[in-house]
Amino acid sequence: MSLDPQSARPLYMQLADVIAAKIATGEFAPDRMIPTPARLAEEYGIAVLTARRAMRELRERGLIITVPGKGSYVTPG
């Protein structure tokens, strides 16, 4: 799934929605690490800060947890 830079919806929200959908379908399974912001930025052609903001949004939604120095993981089922 790609992001639409022309959309009125901010890129970070679009990315958060894409990751949330992957969590919902099981592509990103509970307790598993999700890609780093740098990796997401590279994959989707966005700035690392935009990817970090998407990760913050996912934490606020309760979909992921971030362990300092370890990475971000899908919240256990």
pLDDT digits (tens, 9 = 90+) for 30-62: 999 999 999 999 999 999 999 999 999 999 999
Report field, pTM of the whole predicted structure over 0.85:
yes
Return the structure tokens found at 71: 């990475």
CATH entry 3.30.67.10 includes domain 11-74? no
pLDDT band at 29 (very low <50, low <70, confident <90, very high): very high
State how far the Cα of 44 lies from the Cα of 51, in Å rounded to an integer.
9
Angle among Cα 13, 2, 17 to the nearest 5 degrees reads: 30
pLDDT band at 9 (very low <50, low <70, confident <90, very high): very high
For residue 55, give the nearest of 15, 26, 5, 11 by alpha carbon: 15
pLDDT band at 77 (very low <50, low <70, confident <90, very high): confident
Exposure string for 25-55, b = 16+ CB within 10 A, e = fewer = eeebeeeeebbebeebbeebebeeebbbbbb
